[in-house]
Structure formats: structure tokens, C-alpha cells
Chain A
Amino acid sequence: MRHRHKGRKLNRTTSHRKALLRNMVTALLDLEQIETTDAKAKELRSITERMITLGKRGEDDLSARRQALRVIRSKKIVAKLFNELGPRYADRPGGYTRIVKVENRRGDGAHLSIIAMVKEPVTFKDMKHKRAMLEEEAKLREASERKVEEEPVETPEDVEAVEVEEAAAEEAAVEEATADKGEAVADEPEAPADEKPEKKED
């Protein structure tokens, strides 16, 4: 069972793996786009996203800066993280990287991917989670308001009742074989524009 076994070992010892991933985060934040194997890209994603989140805490957050320096190998890249990447992703609720699979590597057939920093502006879809929360709030608010205004709900029924009465009146008029009355009743609900041409014909 692989319960509670998080992450990939990437066929490396702990120190080797840690060193590799540190090098890779530094490279990705520097170059914005790198090509690696699927497995490494997926491991890298989580670390990179964590770094960006640190970068969003602001230039003045010394604690965040030191935490980033523990992973990223270059002060230059850390500076970029806080000065450039943090502000760039300020509005994006996570998902700063994108992994796209590429053709397998010639030679060993390894599954390759390109992992890149997302550069597109934040869309409505990216905010899906936040939006869902807002909609939930709106629903609750609407439900509490509905209890207050129950009167408007009855109006459609009233309109229907009036229509039924009119129809009954029409039928009765036809049965009496008094065509004029039937027309008069039928014309009533219609617009006055229809009555004018009739008068001209008369």
C-alpha cells in the first residue's frame, strides 16, 4: 500500500533529489520555461508554486525572503521572485505554472514535458473557486430576502385567472350567435391599433 507516500523518489537519494529540485526551481524561475521529464516537472510544480506564494508576501517580508533563499540558489533569482514574479501573480489564486507534455525523448523514450510560468492574464475561469464561494453567499442572501417578499409571487396567478374569464366570455358570446358581441369581447384584450382599421372599413 502506498498510503501516505507523497511525492516521487526520482531514482535518487534524498540529498541528490533535493539538490536536483533546488537547481530546477532556480532554473525555472530564471528562464520561465524548461523542458524535463513528466515526473520531474510534476515534482517541480509544487515547489515552484510554493516559491511564488512566498514571493507574493511582498518585498519587505524578510522572513519570506529567507525561506525562499533556503531553496533557491541565487540571490538574483530571489530578487526577481519578490520584485517581479510576486506582483505579477498577485491576482492569480494559485496555478502559476503550466505543464504541457511533449514528444518522448529520442534515445531512451522518456516522457518529456515543458513546464512554464503562466503568462496569460487571470481569467474568470481561474477564479472559479472564489466565484463559487461568492455565488453561495448570494444564494443565502436571496433565500433570506425571499421570505420577506412573498406577495409578488401571487401576481402571475392573478393574470392567469383574468385570462380564463375572458376565454369563457368569448365562448358564451359565440354560443348566443351574436357575432358582434363575440368580436367586441375578443377585441378588448388586443391593442387599440387593431380597432382603428376596422372603423375605417365600416
Chain B
Amino acid sequence: MAVPKRKSSKTRGRKRRTHEKAARPSLSVCPSCGEAKLPHRMCPHCGTYNGREIVAEEKKENE
């Protein structure tokens, strides 16, 4: 059975892991309130999407 000849060093392992990163979320700007929001999604700050109100403001605060 093939087996590693050497233990991989701390440096080597860490170098390999430099590419393991969390992806940055792609955000867009809400056209009605200007806050950052996820694209193609209702704005969680003002409850609108494409200029339409989906969730009333009061209801949002209770959540």
C-alpha cells in the first residue's frame, strides 16, 4: 500500500489550507432603503421587493 514518506510539516499543511476560505456573500443595494441585501430577495430592512411592500413594518419588528 502506498504510504507517505514524510509527515507533512505545519507550514506545508497551513500553506495548503490558505485556499480554504469562506465565500464572501454577494450583496446588492436595496433600491428603496439603500441597505445591503441579498440579490433577488426581499429586503430584510424595509420589507420591499421591486418597489412593492411585501411585509408590513410593524410585523417585521415583532419577529
Contacts and interface: CB of A to CB of B under 8 A. Distances in A.
B38 interface: yes
B41 interface: yes
Nearest to A120: B52
A102 interface: yes
Nearest to B38: A103
A50 interface: no
Nearest to A104: B38
A102 B47 CA distance: 9
A100 B38 CA distance: 12
Interface in B10-49: 38, 40-42, 44, 49
Contacts of A103: 38, 41-42, 44
Main secondary structure of the interface of B (DSSP, over half): loop
Interface string A82-116: 00000000000000000011110000000000101
A101 B54 contact: no
B54 A114 contact: yes
A102 B37 CA distance: 10
A114 B43 CA distance: 12
Contacts of B40: 101
B38 A116 contact: no
B44 A100 contact: no
Contact of A116 (B41, B44, B54): B54
A101 B55 contact: no
A100 B50 CA distance: 10
Interface of B: 38, 40-42, 44, 49, 54-55
